[in-house]
């Protein structure tokens, strides 16, 4: 009797699956048909050539092939990315206008900018994280700082004797430095620049001893000895630089700061369309040629489900809000 009951349950489950599967396939087919109905616009709110533009073009190539429609990248530059973001905010939520944007515009600017014109949670629908790149704390050889432990010991012995460069007030790399100071229990003077290149040049020249930077930008200088890598700001060592220890390995916990880039759609985009686009993006990013393309810019694919991506945005926003308020950081 028990065996017959078990078999009945198995057959019932299989029947339910058989009934559900065609319905699911039909629903997915309808979504794909809708996405195939018109051209795509992928907005990159930063200039061509950088990681945001690279990812936007990966998506445009993939969507065009997948849905048989034109997929155009629009580089709408200005107002710290807000011009391009605003276009997507105002677009129809049907999956045909999408935004590729770096983490800072989603998790830092809402707190940093007093008149930030968007509500990320209300104005947009997170689709997926696309890619990430590790950051690294580097030192000028002239500073004679060899490790993160060495840096902390020196800063504690001589408070305010050290300084660090960043691409600008409120940048992710500035806040990485502020988080590092908080977690290590030290103080350092922040020296802001207008961009990564001038900041890096002064660290290379020894004018400023320290800097948090994207690993890809600094690897050539680390390899030729013009910079000393003190630690990567990730939970695990980077496959691109396995010899560089993490800050956590050196006793400085809670400084897991990664540069990442995400894909968003306008509010009102149906969940089924969002799920389909997230699936499409994950498959595009997994292609060997795309992975090589990302690797050339020091990135790795980081696709995740829409719900997980939304949670990540909320969590990181809360972390940076605490740092910005605790350190009294004000946008310039």
- Strand 97-102, strand 258-266: pairing: antiparallel
**Residue 162: how many CB atoms within 10 A of its CB?**
21
pLDDT tens per residue across span 28-47:
788 888 999 999 999 999 88
Q: C-alpha distances in angstroms, 36 versus 29, 69, 95?
A: 10, 6, 10
pTM: 0.82
pLDDT tens per residue across span 107-130:
999 999 888 999 999 999 999 999
Bridge partners (DSSP) of residue 222 are none
Question: Which residue is associated with the tokens 């020894």?
Answer: 206
Q: Is the separation of the CB atoms in 187 and 149 below 8 Å?
A: no
The CA-CA-CA angle for residues 315, 233, 228, to 5°, reads: 160
pLDDT tens per residue across span 128-178:
999 998 899 999 999 999 999 999 999 999 988 999 999 989 889 999 999
State residue 4's pLDDT score: 47
């Amino acid at each position: 009797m028990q065996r017959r009951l078990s078999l009945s349950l198995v057959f019932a489950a299989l029947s339910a699956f058989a009934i559900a599967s065609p319905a699911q396939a039909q629903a997915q087919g309808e979504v794909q048909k809708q996405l195939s109905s018109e051209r795509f616009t992928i907005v990159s709110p930063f200039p061509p050539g950088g990681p945001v533009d690279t990812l936007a073009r990966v998506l445009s190539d993939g969507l065009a092939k997948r849905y048989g429609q034109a997929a155009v990248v629009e580089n709408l530059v200005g107002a710290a990315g807000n011009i391009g973001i605003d276009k997507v905010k105002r677009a129809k939520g049907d999956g045909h206008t999408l935004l590729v944007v770096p983490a800072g515009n989603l998790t830092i600017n809402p707190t940093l900018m007093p008149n930030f014109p968007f509500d990320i949670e209300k104005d947009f629908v997170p689709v997926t994280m696309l890619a990430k790149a590790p950051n690294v704390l580097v030192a000028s050889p002239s500073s004679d700082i060899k490790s993160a432990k060495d840096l902390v010991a020196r800063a504690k012995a001589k408070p305010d004797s050290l300084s660090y460069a960043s691409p600008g007030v409120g940048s992710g790399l500035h806040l990485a430095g502020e988080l590092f100071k908080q977690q290590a229990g030290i103080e350092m003077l922040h020296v802001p620049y207008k961009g990564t290149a001038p900041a890096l040049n002064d660290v290379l020249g020894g004018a400023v001893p320290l800097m948090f930077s994207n690993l890809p930008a600094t690897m050539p200088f680390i390899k030729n000895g013009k910079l000393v890598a003190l630690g990567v700001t990730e939970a695990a060592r980077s496959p691109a630089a396995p010899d560089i220890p993490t800050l956590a390995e050196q006793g400085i916990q809670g400084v897991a700061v990664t540069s990442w880039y995400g894909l968003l759609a306008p509010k009102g985009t149906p969940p089924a369309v969002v799920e389909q686009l997230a699936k499409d993006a994950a498959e595009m990013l997994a292609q060997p040629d795309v992975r090589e393309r990302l690797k050339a810019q020091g990135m790795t694919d980081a696709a995740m489900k829409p719900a997980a991506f939304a949670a990540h945005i909320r969590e990181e926003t809360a972390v940076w809000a605490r740092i910005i308020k605790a350190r009294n950081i004000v946008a310039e």
